[in-house]
Every structure is written in structure tokens, then in C-alpha cells.
Chain A
């Protein structure tokens, strides 16, 4: 499949096929009012099959890149300006994240009051997050993003 290049924006490449729509959702791209090109099950020498998302006129913040890393830990982020790659880097899981993940512990204060969540990532490989408040673990299986 041939997808046109973008003049300005971001390409998220090497997304696992099962994570493409999750990436769209966590970045809020359903509501984005410009061109978004989504490709999935494209051939990849690294992954076999991969997903790719191109977003016109959009560059991501550190927090948004952290979100991508949590669902697509091997994704490449490519910043494009004037049809040229100005920056290419791997989405890396940070040591600490705030705000956008819900604590899996229903008894945690963050699920009872308006308290922004904070986590330390204690195991990046298996994605294990320790809540700064209740000290309980949230894992890949129990992880949910805040609305």
C-alpha cells in the first residue's frame, strides 16, 4: 500500500498490529480535525506485520510519547517538517508517569477523589507500574487509560 508523504507532522511507525487502534484512542486522534492516515498489517522486516499512523500538522509532547510507549513499546516516532525527517526516535517507557493511567486498585484514593495518578514503572519489560499513593501494582493486563 502506498501512502502519501506528509509535509508537516508525525509518523508513528512499527506499531504492533493489535495496538494501532489503541494508539489512536489514547492520543485522542478520533477527534483530531486534520488528516490522519492509518495503515495496519503492512509488511515489516522487524515485526512481520506492523501498523503505521501519520498525523498531519501534529507533534507530540513528552507525555503523549510516554502514552505511545506504554501500548507500543517498540514504535518509532518520526517528526516531519517540510517533507524532511527532522527527528526520529524510539518511544521509550519512562521511569515515572503521571495523570493518564488509572490505578487498578479500586480502593486507591485516586479512584475515590479527584487525585491525579502517579506511578513508578518498576518493570518495563513486563509493564508493571507501582502506584505512588496506594503502593499497589497495575500491570499490562489491568492497565486502563483515564478518559
Chain B
């Protein structure tokens, strides 16, 4: 029996390296055969307290393809939350209606708290700027699928490394796999020292750059991120740095053949559309992989894989 049965997934550090790999192996099976009605007696609650396109749709698609029924909301407007109901009461109530809760909430730490009051497992689908572990799992899946391994890779992270939670989680996860990190960002958006400390603690190396061109020949994976307007308290700071890490097709001459470009999406202008038709673009397949990984997580946590 999997160790994942009945577990919560709140933070990327909740699972061991072996457990990540177990999820990725299960996801491979779903990629080959995604429509399996193994959750037809289960109800999955998707509680989205703030807007989401990819994450919510991919969870709901994953659950639907496994035959689960879905309850929930994509906007707290019109629910008891708007009447002032506490998160505690909402979660206790939804626990009694469902077998699994998938939650996104802008308050940081809300998913951890929900997992402590829920009587069913909780999967964190993003709690503000804190954690988004299923994004990290699908990033790992995409890296392994394109490189054939997760071990000993040259990982370049580009863009908003300060506020981008997907980068923080990815770096933490890849510290388990002997990666070397190449960090490209404007000076204002460097990776926080606490995350760099994780790299050092793992005995691994990182290099910092301000020019994206410098890492093109080295990287196995270029993980691009959007410079997110909503993370900046000062709009002037956003305007000043937003265009500093843009990847275009002509920059890719001289890259490794196995190199692939990932992006958690949505993109704005940080990858120009001429990159989409190159063999290196992988971000749309990456989003598709999210369905298989979320199928694997739900199936493992609900004890049917």
C-alpha cells in the first residue's frame, strides 16, 4: 500500500524524494491511459477562494477523467464565505460532503490550517505566495519526461526569482537530485537567501546572472517565470524590471539539443511567440502533464493507486 494514502499535500517538503518519484511513476500510467473510472465512488471538493484557470481546470479534468464527482466553487462570491463564514467552518462542513478537498486561498498558510481541521485529506492548490506543490510535481514530471532523468541536471531559473513561489519549490525539490542551479534575474528579483541556503545545505552549487544569454549554452532546463505585477507593492518597481528577462527564438542558437523551456504559465511577454514553434518549447505540454500528475496524486491519496 502506498504511503501516500490519506496524506495531505500542503508543502513540497511534505513528501520524500521516494514519494515524489512514486507519484511521477503513477502519473506515467495515467498519461498512457488517462480515462480510468477508478474514483467513481468519490467526491472531490474544489474550493477556489481566488481565481485560477489552469490549476482548477486541470484538477477538475483530472477528477472527471477518473470518474469522480466534483463539488465546490471557483469564486467565493455567493457562498457563505461572503457572509463572513470562517475558513474553519467552511472546511469542517465541506469535509462532511467530500472525500478529498482541493483548495486555493490567498491567505498564506490557509491550506496547512485547513488540513488540520478537515476530516478528509487536503491538497494545496496554492496559498498566496507561499506554496503550490502540485505545480512543482508537474514541473518534476516534465523535467524527467524531457530529460529521461531528474539527476545531475543544469537547471536555469529565469525572471522573478524573488516572488515566484514555483521557482522556490522547484529549487527545493531539485536539491534532492544533485542539480546545479543557474539563477537569472534582475538584481531586484534575486532568489531569496533562505532558498539559496537550501541549495548550500544540500551541498550543491548555484550561479547568479543578470543576462539570460549567458545560460543558454549550459542549461538542460530553462524555467521561465512571469514578473508578476500583483507581487509588487510599488508599481514603479514593476515597470522598471518587467522586460528584463525575455527569451526569443534567435537566442536559442547554440543551446543543447536536449534543452527544454518550461513555464508555469500564464506568460505575458517573457517568451516571445516565435519560440513556440521551436523544438525547445515545452510549456504547453507541461500544462497538460498537470492533469496526469493531479490524477496520480488524487488516486494515491484516496488509496486507489
Contacts and interface: CB of A to CB of B under 8 A. Distances in A.
Interface of A: 103, 105, 107-110, 112-115, 131-137
A56 to B, nearest CB: 40
A71 B270 CA distance: 47
B107 A109 contact: yes
Contacts of A103: 109
Interface residues of B, number: 18
A134 B88 contact: no
A107 B113 contact: no
Contact of B130 (A110, A112, A115, A134): A134
A107 B86 contact: no
Interface of B: 11, 86-88, 105-110, 112-113, 127-131, 194
Nearest to A111: B107
Given A107-B128, A109-B87, A115 B108 contact: no
Contacts of B112: 109, 132-133
Contacts of A113: 86-88, 107, 113
A136 B145 CA distance: 33
A137 B197 CA distance: 14
A109 B49 CA distance: 13
A107 B107 contact: yes
Contacts of A135: 11, 108-109, 130-131
A38 to B, nearest CB: 38
A105 B128 CA distance: 12
B231 to A, nearest CB: 11
Contacts of A110: 109, 113
